[in-house]
């Protein structure tokens, strides 16, 4: 859209072009008209360049909890984005969707984000990741869950999740015994 000052310069440049005289020797133009035309082109050029710039990327934030429950999570999410150079409102936009502990609402919320459309979707639970997975196969989905994503049906394997999903899991129940294995192996054998 052309601003007020830029619009008047645009009109002057247009008038200069229209008022050019065609003579038998070719196109005649007075110095003042040339300067006006050149100035109008100089103003219009950045506008055209600005119009060609890509739109701001949008991150979809999908949580099964309420906004008040996830204040800390949302703040940490924004902080992590800031640390890698993405600032909400400046060079990235974040669209938040909370299910307010009504997990049956997650598919509809994920559909809203797909229709928005978002560049990437961040899902903060197994049910959120599954809702996002069933909603889109083209938008990248990054998930964070405490469940086993293979058993939950989110990914095929941890080493190669496949499709448009990747994420972080905190499988504490299954890894707990693995973490204790070195201690058990290093402990002296006990006899009764």
Q: Locate tokens 């978002």: which residue?
A: 118
Q: Locate tokens 């050029």: which residue?
A: 45
pLDDT at 128: 94
Give 21's contacts (C-beta < 8 A, 6+ positions apart).
27, 28, 29
Distance CA 15, CA 37 (A): 9
173 vs 99, higher pLDDT: 99
pLDDT mean over 23-31 = 51
Highest mean pLDDT among 112-121, 158-167, 169-178: 112-121
Domain boundaries, the chain: 4-51, 58-175
178 vs 166, higher pLDDT: 166
Output the CA angle 59-62-67, nearest 5 degrees. Answer: 110
Question: Residues of 109-137 as b/e, b for ≥16 C-beta within 10 angstroms?
Answer: bbbebbeeebeebbbbbbbbbbbbbebbe
pLDDT at 157: 85
- CATH, domain 58-175, list 3.40.228.10, 3.40.50.970, 2.130.10.10, 3.40.50.2300: 3.40.50.2300
Band of pLDDT at residue 171, cut at 50, 70 and 90: confident
């Amino acid at each position: 859209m052309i601003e007020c000052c830029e619009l008047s310069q645009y009109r002057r440049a247009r008038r200069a072009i229209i008022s050019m005289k065609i003579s038998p020797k070719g196109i005649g133009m007075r110095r003042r008209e040339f300067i006006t035309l050149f100035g109008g082109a100089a103003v219009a050029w950045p506008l055209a360049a600005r119009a060609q710039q890509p739109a701001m990327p949008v991150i979809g934030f999908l949580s099964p909890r309420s906004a008040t429950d996830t204040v800390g999570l949302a703040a940490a999410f924004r902080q992590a984005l800031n640390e890698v150079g993405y600032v909400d409102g400046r060079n990235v936009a974040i669209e938040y969707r909370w299910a307010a502990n009504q997990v049956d609402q997650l598919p509809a919320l994920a559909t809203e984000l797909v229709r928005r459309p978002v560049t990437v979707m961040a899902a903060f639970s197994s049910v959120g990741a599954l809702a996002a997975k069933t909603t889109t196969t083209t938008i990248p989905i990054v998930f964070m869950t405490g469940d086993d994503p293979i058993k939950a049906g989110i990914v095929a394997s941890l080493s190669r999740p496949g499709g448009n999903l990747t994420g972080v899991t905190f499988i504490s129940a299954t890894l707990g015994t693995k973490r204790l294995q070195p201690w058990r192996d290093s402990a002296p054998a006990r006899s009764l």
